[in-house]
């Protein structure tokens, strides 16, 4: 379950990253869409890091290969 959540969030990060790149080239600095897309990316990445750290601290993710 944790893997699926993390993979969906990472996919969202990638979509937001490429959306920001697209907006940078399309708008040529006349809009704030790129800033909003990259803000969404940073927030999603923070959530991914928090989930991974929480999973490791609570024992859902082990530190060794099984």
All structural domains of the chain with their residue ranges: 2-57
Q: What is the pTM of this model?
A: 0.81
pLDDT of residue 65: 64
Q: Distance between CA atoms of 56 and 34, rounded to whole angstroms?
A: 33
Which residue stretches of the chain have pLDDT < 50?
A: none
| Distant-in-sequence, close-in-space partners of 52: CB < 8 Å, separation ≥ 6 | 6, 61
**Residue pointed to by tokens 């996919």:** 11
């Amino acid at each position: 379950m944790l893997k699926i959540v993390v993979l969906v969030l990472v996919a969202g990060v990638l979509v937001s990253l490429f959306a920001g790149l697209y907006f940078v080239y399309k708008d040529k600095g006349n809009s704030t869409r790129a800033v909003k897309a990259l803000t969404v990316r940073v927030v999603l990445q923070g959530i991914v890091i928090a989930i991974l750290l929480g999973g490791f601290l609570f024992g859902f993710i082990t530190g060794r290969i099984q």
